Amino acid sequence: MFQAATINSANKVDFYGELCQQLKGLLHGETDTIANAANTSALMFEMMPDLNWAGFYFLKSEKELVLGPFQGRAACVRIAVGRGVCGTAVEKGTSILVEDVHAFPGHIACDAASRSELVVPLHHNGKILGVIDLDSPSASRFDADDQAGVEALARIFVEASY
């Protein structure tokens, strides 16, 4: 059985390197998308400090994301492509880092406690399958190192699941 090991690193690059290794071990040999999304969100929520939500939204049509496995409070179930941070990330096809969600036009507040957000699209064979969505109760929680680290986690998830 997999057990997450504490990562003792103040350096974010090293932290994400170790977290990626743990995710590879956790997903090794499993190809079920839902199981992998559930375990990926659980690992991120457990290991990444200062999060209040970690999970997935999957693109179910050209126009709509639907809630997938997550850790945290109950969440919005459906998000239109182009709406909020998640829908905008899909529309633009790129990660979006928001230091203050209250300053993001059209932000969808599923949890009023969230102050910052990082959304990373899941790319596979030239298509976007969905997003990883991370929320924090702290403003400016995420930076470029977090974005690069979560993009690496997203690639590991996609490689294992599709």
Give the pLDDT of residue 139: 96
Q: Determine contact, residues 87/65, Cβ cutoff 8 Å.
A: yes
Phi, psi (deg, nearest 5) at residue 79:
-130, 125
Q: Which structure tokens are listed for 119?
A: 């959304």
Quick check: 27 pLDDT over 90?
Answer: yes
Give the pLDDT of residue 76: 92
Quick check: 14 pLDDT over 90?
Answer: yes
Q: Which domains does the chain have, with CATH numbers?
A: 12-161 (3.30.450.40)
pLDDT tens-digit readout, 55-87: 999 999 999 999 999 999 999 999 999 999 999
Mean pLDDT (the chain) is: 94
Give the pLDDT of residue 113: 80
